[in-house]
Amino acid sequence: MVLTIYGYSCASTRKAKRWLKSHDIPFIYRDIIKKPVNVQEMQAILSLTEGGTDDIISKRSNIYKELDLDFDTLPLNELYELIYKYPRLMRQPIILGDNKIQIGFDQDNIRQFIPREDRVRNLHHILSIC
């Protein structure tokens, strides 16, 4: 499984990349400032979220405040266009892999991307020590 990290140079994205590297988990990094997310990618991201657009929109970002839009009433096509034009509207990083998603960096939740056999092996190792 190769993960995809959608992000740009921010602390959370750097932490996620560093964590994945330290756990030898392969990933492809996609700088969304240089190459914005297209409609198909956005649909794939949204299909894995629990809260839809609320999960991926960064309401603390400057661009969100500057646009001063009602995102709850915004048609999806317009939202896709805004995210393409203003990639910093998206929370960072967004990590995708095998029907799994993580939005933002969370030290505990990112463990979902460790392959199952590795997690089982680590658990057996821990239990054998006890």
* Domains of the chain and any CATH numbers: 3-129 (3.40.30.10)
Whether the CB-CB separation of 63 and 91 falls below 8 Å is answered with no
From the list 4, 5, 8, 10, the catalytic residue is 10
What confidence tens digit (pLDDT) does each residue in 1-41 have?
A: 789 999 999 999 999 999 999 999 999 999 999 999 999 99
Per-residue H/E/C for the chain = CCEEEEECCCHHHHHHHHHHHHCCCCEEEEECCCCCCCHHHHHHHHHHCCCCHHHHECCCCHHHHHHCCCCCCCCHHHHHHHHHHCHHHECCCEEEECCEEEECCCCCHHHHHCCHHHHHHHHHHHHHHC
For range 93-113, the mean pLDDT: 92
Least confident of 81-85, 94-98, 115-119: 115-119
For range 115-128, the mean pLDDT: 70
Confirm whether 130 is a catalytic residue.
no
Q: What is the mean pLDDT of the chain?
A: 90
